[in-house]
Chain A
Amino acid sequence: MFIHENIVAAASRNPDSLAIVDGDDKLSYGQLLAWATRLAKSFSNVLPRGSRVALNLEKSPAAIAAMLGTLLAGCAYVPIDPANPMERRRFILRDSGASALVVDASTAAEWERETTVTAGLALILDPNVEAAIVERSEAAPVTCASTEVERSTTQASDLAYVLYTSGSTGEPKGVMITHENAAAFVGWALDRFDINPADHIAVHAPLHFDLPVLDVYAGLARGACLFPVRADVARFPEGLVRFLREKEISVLYAVPSALTALVSRSTLTRAGIPSLRLLLYAGEEFHANPLSRLMSSVPQARVFNLYGPIETNVVAAHELLRPPLAGERIPLGCAVQGTKIVILDANGSAITDADVQGEIVVSGPSVSPGYLNRPEITRQSRVVVCQDGHSFPAYRTGDFGYWDIDGQLRFVGRRDGTVKTRGFRVDLGDVEAVILACPSVAEAAVIAVPHPEYTTRLLGFVVPIPGLSMEESTLVAWCRERLPPYMIPEKLAVREVLPKTSTGKIARRALLAESEQSWP
């Protein structure tokens, strides 16, 4: 079944069960489906099947209803982070080719000024105003028979959603996820994790991220109740722990940076989270010390390390059966069902021996067909693998790794300038390109400095055009108009020159050494 069909089935089984709780706002499965169906009908009235619908919404029941409504209408959604500056949001709206834009109270006013960008859109909709009030005030539960949408015949190759991630050129790139991709991933998650109707699932990561795909679609497929974690709660470690305890959260999927903050800056280690039974993490390496303290604080919870770039969904998983020892590195695990993971050497040949490093490439039904409007980058990200007399196409993750002697996949590092900071993927070239576009900048370099809590800190070095002066605050303001907050370097140091290697390239190691001394 496709991801939205699972939810329709769950709603028909238990229409009165709680689907989403957001503060005092409680939504049953019947109400969620009715809301989504009303939105789907609005889309169907004006949009051809296969259209893309941009969702510039805060994490909320309305956002989840809009995601589901888009899929029910046979369209694909494009979540746009409300925390992004308008320039980046405008770009995503245009680049995605969205025919409709869904806004909410927090984003509507910003788009009202964007008449040029939104002029060609068929529909600009506030799901709260257009659909929620009417549907949700109905006294009688909505039956599923009345919520069917005629256009719901979905093909495996249809786009389900597009997630934008950091590119290398100063512009984000849209990762296309088909219904086959999403169904393969969610189907695996449903088989692997015993999510059930009694579960309370925190939707912790932002909706433009790939982690909530599991929360929302696996959770709702099994009749569990979702608890969206608002950004102003998620930011404060004790605020989050308090939320997890009060809501009796049983399933939490988060990035290590956020979980490390809970260990070091909340009362988690004093009182744990008694209700938590399943803890999933992904997105970056989790260091042994905080992970061990975390696991000791929630000893009743099963803990899994999940691996997979946004382009592939989760392709490897490893269950931790005990807290790691000091300095121990956690394996990425084994390939999930239906996925093939191969390590390639520099010549593109598959490595079968243990402990030999190479690039991790992935093939399988959860792998994205490519980037929206980026055939060249899509082509570069693909490789044909020849193994055991068979050849098949695979996605190049850009991650280096190896198989250990136990057959577990291990992570080593990246082959390009992509880093993780606070769980977000950032291409350093993307940040540099934005800084270099500033008219007074002649040269720029951004480096990632390892940090125990945020994975890495981003630091920038800038050389102004001769004769022009430059203030850090000017550069920061320039970046703020173009980059999401997590991509803005923590420091932007203005220099007369940047150190160079013998081949004339920027000496990033020298900058790294300098930054470790100057900004420990």
Chain B
Amino acid sequence: MNSDCEDDILDQIIAILRRILRDPGIVLSSATELKHIGSFDSLALFRLIAEIELASGVELDPQYIVPETFATPAQIAQIFARQIKASATL
């Protein structure tokens, strides 16, 4: 089960992706496979990371900037939630 924090982040990620991808035709859900979205290129990736970092106040550890993390919005949310939790315990 997702934590509230993860659900909030997931909602934010989907909203940011909608804004960045600028394509009303793309249906985004937690399980959308981002590799099949042609406009999710390196520029979109860096904008997404920057905007989530700004919203969450947590910088994504570079070790997570790999295809697996960005497979779906749910995967991204899970990693960010973990990072936020880790930073809160410091």
Contact = CB atoms under 8 A, between A and B. Distances in A.
A486 interface: yes
B65 A239 contact: yes
A476 B22 contact: yes
Most buried by A among B38, B49, B62, B66: B62
Interface residues on A, range: 20 to 34
B46 A266 contact: no
Interface residues on B, range: 20 to 34
Most buried by B among A238, A422, A476: A238
Contact of B65 (A265, A476, A485): A265
A238 B23 CA distance: 27
> What 9 pairs between A and B have smallest CB-CB spacing?
A238-B65, A239-B66, A476-B22, A485-B41, A238-B66, A235-B42, A266-B62, A265-B65, A237-B65
B35 interface: yes
Interface of A: 83, 232-239, 242, 261, 265-267, 422, 453-454, 472-473, 476-477, 480, 485-486, 490
A245 to B, nearest CB: 12
Contact of A267 (B23, B49, B62, B70): B62
B65 to A, nearest CB: 4
Contact of A242 (B35, B38, B42, B66): B66
Contact of A476 (B23, B41, B67): B23
A431 to B, nearest CB: 15
Interface string B38-72: 11011101110100000000000011111101100
B43 A237 contact: no
Most buried by A among B41, B43, B47: B43
B45 A236 contact: yes
Contact of A261 (B46, B64, B67): B46
Interface of B: 22-25, 35, 38-39, 41-43, 45-47, 49, 62-67, 69-70
A454 B44 CA distance: 12
Q: Mostly helix, strand, loop or mixed at chain A's interface?
A: helix
Given A265-B49, A453-B46, A490-B43, A236 B65 contact: yes
Contacts, number: 59
A454 B62 CA distance: 18
Contacts of B47: 490
Nearest to B68: A239
Contacts of B24: 473
A397 B36 CA distance: 38
A454 B43 contact: yes
B15 to A, nearest CB: 15
A238 B63 contact: yes
B41 A473 contact: no
B22 A236 contact: no
Given A265-B46, A454-B43, A490-B43, 8 more contacts: A83-B38, A235-B45, A236-B45, A237-B65, A238-B62, A239-B66, A477-B25, A486-B41
Most buried by A among B24, B64, B65, B66: B65
Contacts of B49: 265
Contacts of B63: 238, 267
